[in-house]
A and B are shown apart, each in its own frame.
Chain A
Amino acid sequence: MNDPGDLTDPTPVRVVLAKLGLDGHDRGLKVVARMLRDGGMEVVYLGLRQTTDTIIDAVEQEDADVVGISMLNAGHLTLGPRMVEALADAGLDVPVVIGGIVPDEDRPAMAAAGVAGVLGPGASADEVVACVRAAADTRG
């Protein structure tokens, strides 16, 4: 098929990307947004200073498949589980992927809290896309 339209996925994965809390470093999130776009996904980009409530509003209205949050300020142990809980409390069955600075020793705690994936510095575009796609697939 020669039509570019045929190369695209008729049901692309929809990802809400946000910085949760007051961490103002959004370069990594922007890079990830581009990686996911080039991986054929639709990225609903929320940007800086989001709360669990604003993320839930977006997930709900956008019918998103995955939430990606970026944390570089060591807030992941507090805010990661809080995001997972907030989605569950809202009755939203949507997996959370965390990107940023997450020490290896914190990864088991993230998994135990229900975080579907953790992406650290140096993750390749392929790894980022694969991680988000795997998370989306768990949604069924």
Chain B
Amino acid sequence: MTSSPPSASQAGDRSASQPEGRSRDRSVSELVAAARGGERRATARLLTLVERGGPLADEVAERAWTVLGGGAGATDGNRAHVIGLTGPPGAGKSTLVAAWTTRLVEQGHRPAVLAVDPSSPLTGGAILGDRVRMAEATAAGVFIRSMATRGHAGGLALAVPGMVRVLDLAGFDPVIVETVGVGQVEVDVASAADTVLVVVTPGMGDAVQANKAGLLEVADLFAVNKSDRPDAADTRRDLELMLDLSDLTGHGRTGAGTGPRSRPSIISTVATTGVGVDDLATATDAHMAALMADGALAGRREDRWRAEVRSHLDHLLLDASRRAVAGPVAGSLPESGSPAAVARSMLGQMAEQLLADPTGGLPDGPTGQGGAAAEGDR
């Protein structure tokens, strides 16, 4: 919406280009060229590669940066308007996105949606149900990709920016990242956007609840969905009150490097009938226009870029820490003593040693205070 239309063909992606060969057999550069030419299958394959991580994901990232880099203000390599959308389960996020993106297609845009649902922590499997609510959008030509959070430490935060970049290079704009607003990572992922939309519904609690939830602090815009319900006015009032308090304390309305954020608009919507969807689209565009007008967009994108580097670092550290403690324990654990004291002294020291030398394996038993106490007890 903020960039000129891409070279990719606007319509008829399915029939436009049959792939030369099976997408699995094509190189990253061939896939990137095909994706830029509007071939959806190649885009989907690139998304898979990024999601899996590893050397091929790095290669995709490198190509994407080459293609997208150098755009005005695009310090994180994005040209598309990246919109994060989050909210509690059952708020109507998918239905709202479906109505919204269908409208965007009618207006000549090429929206894509990355819909994130949780994986089972026990089996790693997931049921990704967003498409059920988005049949209309699929028929209109919206590109929808479902994604599970998967279990890898920090993997989601790592994969999503790369996948957004793939959708961007394929010419989709805007790119909407939809997550369930439970869990810090899911909220963080949706918050790493140019515009953050939080969907709430009536009947989810009073003004105290509205102040409690960290979810609400990340919003640039609110949609009060299901606003045909009788208590919708209460929900709206509670949100206004919360925002009044934010204005009063000045807290939660600034982000590092982004400068002061304007007071979020609140849009009333009924996703199932399309009420308020145009208002939502207008408010989202207005937010982006304001970001560009006051120069905040570059700052926001730089924040995002820093957060992405941090995600890579977190991933490396978590991975190293998991491997560091995976080996056998060489020393014996103390037989007596306060478990809390032992935990503090011994485990803390082990962690420090591992931090200094992550490849050294688990230290050979306690060496400090905890160890001395254990010796004394014998």
Contacts and interface: CB of A to CB of B under 8 A. Distances in A.
Interface string A57-68: 110111100000
B130 to A, nearest CB: 9
Contacts of A8: 119, 123-124, 150-152
Contact of A44 (B40, B45, B128, B152): B128
Contacts of B148: 12, 42
30 contacts: A3-B151, A3-B153, A3-B322, A5-B151, A5-B152, A7-B123, A10-B152, A11-B52, A12-B124, A34-B127, A37-B123, A37-B125, A37-B126, A38-B120, A38-B123, A40-B125, A42-B148, A43-B125, A43-B126, A43-B127, A43-B128, A44-B146, A54-B139, A57-B138, A58-B138, A60-B40, A63-B44, A63-B47, A63-B48, A93-B22
Contact of A62 (B19, B23, B145, B151): B145
A4 B151 CA distance: 7
B19 A91 contact: yes
Most chain B CB inside 10 Å of its own CB: which residue of A9, A33, A45, A54? A45
B124 A7 contact: yes
A33 B127 contact: yes
B144 A1 contact: no
Contacts of A91: 18-19
Given A36-B125, A43-B126, A62-B44, A56 B120 contact: no
Contact of B123 (A5, A39, A54, A61): A39
B126 A42 contact: yes
Given A38-B120, A42-B148, A61 B52 contact: no
Contacts, number: 110
Contacts of B325: 2
Given A5-B153, A45-B132, A63-B23, 6 more contacts: A6-B151, A43-B125, A44-B128, A44-B146, A63-B48, A92-B41
B14 interface: yes
B40 A41 contact: no
B40 A37 contact: no
Nearest to A53: B14
Given A63-B47, A91-B19, A58 B131 contact: yes
A11 to B, nearest CB: 6
A60 B150 CA distance: 21
Interface residues of A, number: 39
Interface in B33-62: 40-41, 43-45, 47-48, 52-53
A116 to B, nearest CB: 17
A45 B151 contact: no
B124 A40 contact: yes
Given A60-B44, A62-B44, A45 B138 contact: no
A37 B45 contact: no
A58 B44 CA distance: 10
Contacts of B143: 61
Nearest to B128: A44
A90 interface: yes
Nearest first, the 4 A-B pairs at minimum CB distance are A8-B124, A5-B151, A37-B125, A8-B151
Contacts of A11: 52
Contacts of A46: 131-132, 135
A41 B121 CA distance: 12
A1 B326 contact: yes
B129 interface: yes
B44 A44 contact: no
Contact of A61 (B19, B22, B144, B326): B144
A63 B120 contact: no
Contacts of A33: 127
Nearest to A56: B14
Contact of A63 (B45, B119, B135, B322): B45
B151 to A, nearest CB: 3
Contacts of A61: 40, 43-44, 143-145
Nearest to A13: B125
Nearest to B54: A10
A47 interface: yes
Contacts of A6: 151, 322
A45 B148 CA distance: 13
B18, B43, B53, B150: most-surrounded residue (chain A CB, <10 A):
B150
B122 interface: yes
Q: Which of B22, B122, B123 has the most CB of A within 10 A?
A: B123
Interface string B102-139: 00000000000000000111111111110110010011
